[in-house]
Amino acid sequence: MNGGKRHKPRSILHLHSTFSAGGKELRCVRLINAFGPKMEHAIVSAEPDRMEAARGIGKRITVKYPQDFPSLKGWPSLGRFSRIARAMRGYDLVLTYNWGAIDAVMAHTMFDQAMGLPSLIHHEDGFNEDEGERLKLSRNLYRRIALGRAKGLVVPSETLEGIALEVWHQPIARVKRIPNGIDTKAFAKRPKPDALRGVIKRRDEFWLGTVAGLRAVKNLPRLVEIFASLPEEWQLVIVGEGPEREAIRDEAGRLGAGHRLHLPGFVPDPARYIGLFDVFALSSDSEQFPISLVEAMAAGLPVAAMDVGDIAEMVAEPNRRYVASGPDDLEIGLHELARNMDLRKELGEANRLKANQEYDETRMIDTYRRLYASAMGYDSLS
C-alpha cells in the first residue's frame, strides 16, 4: 500500500438515491466531517431537489455538487450506463447508496475494466414502501449482477447482512456489516424547553416524538391514529420533511388531534432536542438499523416501535416488550408507557447504557475509514 505523502487531496464521489436528511444521508455527513478537509467530495442525488442533508457538512470541507452528472434514473441502456461510467473517472473512490443508485453500480461493473474506473463500494440501508413487505425478484437479480465488481457491500444490520448473503448471493468477503454509531456523549445533556424550533415544551406536557423522513414507508399516519387515543396532556412531535406531511396533518385533523400535533420540519442536530421527548416511537413498515433510534437511546428515552429490521435487538433487553408485532400491540405499549413515569425512566436508563456501550460512533468511523482507505489502496485516510 502507498502510505506516503500525497499532495493531491483524495476525492470521493457519492451517488445517493436521495440526499434528504434521513439516516443514511446524515451518517454520510458525519463521516465526511470526520474525514476532515484533506478529503474532497462530490455528491449526486437521484432526486436533485432533495439535498437537505448537505446543510450539515462542515464549512472546512470541500464539496461539489456536479450538475452535469448523468441522471441516476432512466431506462437501463448501454449508452446511459456508458455515460455514467465515464463520469466516474477521475475520482479515487465511488460510493453508492441504496436502490436509487443501483444503475451506477451496474454501469461500474460493465465498464470498470474497459475504462479503468476507481473502486466502488455500495451501501444498502433498507427499502422503500415498494419493497417494505416483500423484496422484488427482478430487483434481487439485478442487484446480484450489478454488484459483481463492487469492492464492498456495506450493510448496517444483521437482517440486511442475511439478505445480502442468501438472497443477493454476495460472497462473504464482499459483505461488510457496520452498525450505525453516533456521538453518544452529545446526547447526555437535558435540552432546554425551547430547543426545538417553533415548539416550546410546557411543564404540564408530555411528548411522544419521532425523527423520520415523512415518507409512506414510515407509516406516520399509523402513529397519529394510535397517539390520538392518549390523554390530552400528550403531544405528538414529528421532526422531518417529506411528501407525507399533508397526509399526516389530515389524519390528525380527522381524529380531532390536530391541535396536539407538531411538525417543525427538518431540524439539524437532534442532540439539541431529542431529549425533550418522553417516549420515542417508530411506526415504520420497514427499518433496518435506524440512527434515530440510537439517538433516542443515547438520550435516555424509552422506545415503542414496530418489530422491523434489527430494532428488537437494538434496544435494551427490558425495552423489548414494547417492540410490537402489530399496531394493536404498539398502542397497548404506548398507553402503558404514558401511564408510568417510573417505567419510562427505568427503560430510558437501560437504553442509554446500551447506546453508550455499543453504539458510540468512534468504532463506526474507524471501520469506515479503514474500509475506504483499503479500497483506494492507502494505509489510512489521514
pTM for the predicted model, two decimal places: 0.75
pLDDT of the residue at 265? 92
Task: Read off the pLDDT of residues 179-192 as tens digits, 9 standing for 90 and up.
Answer: 989 999 999 988 99
Task: Read off the pLDDT of residues 204-215 as tens digits, 9 standing for 90 and up.
Answer: 999 999 999 899
DSSP string, 45-93: ESSTT--GGGGGS-TTSEEE--SSSPPSSS---HHHHHHHHHHHTT-SE
Tell me phi and psi for residue 355, to 5 degrees.
-60, -45
Q: Is the pLDDT of residue 3 over 50?
A: no
Q: What is the mean pLDDT of the chain?
A: 93
Spatial separation of the C-alpha atoms in residues 197 and 194, rounded to whole Å: 7
Task: Read off the pLDDT of residues 325-362 as tens digits, 9 standing for 90 and up.
Answer: 999 999 999 999 999 999 999 999 999 999 999 999 99
Domains of the chain: 10-181+361-376 (3.40.50.2000), 184-358 (3.40.50.2000)
**Residues 169, 129 contacting (CB under 8 angstroms):** no
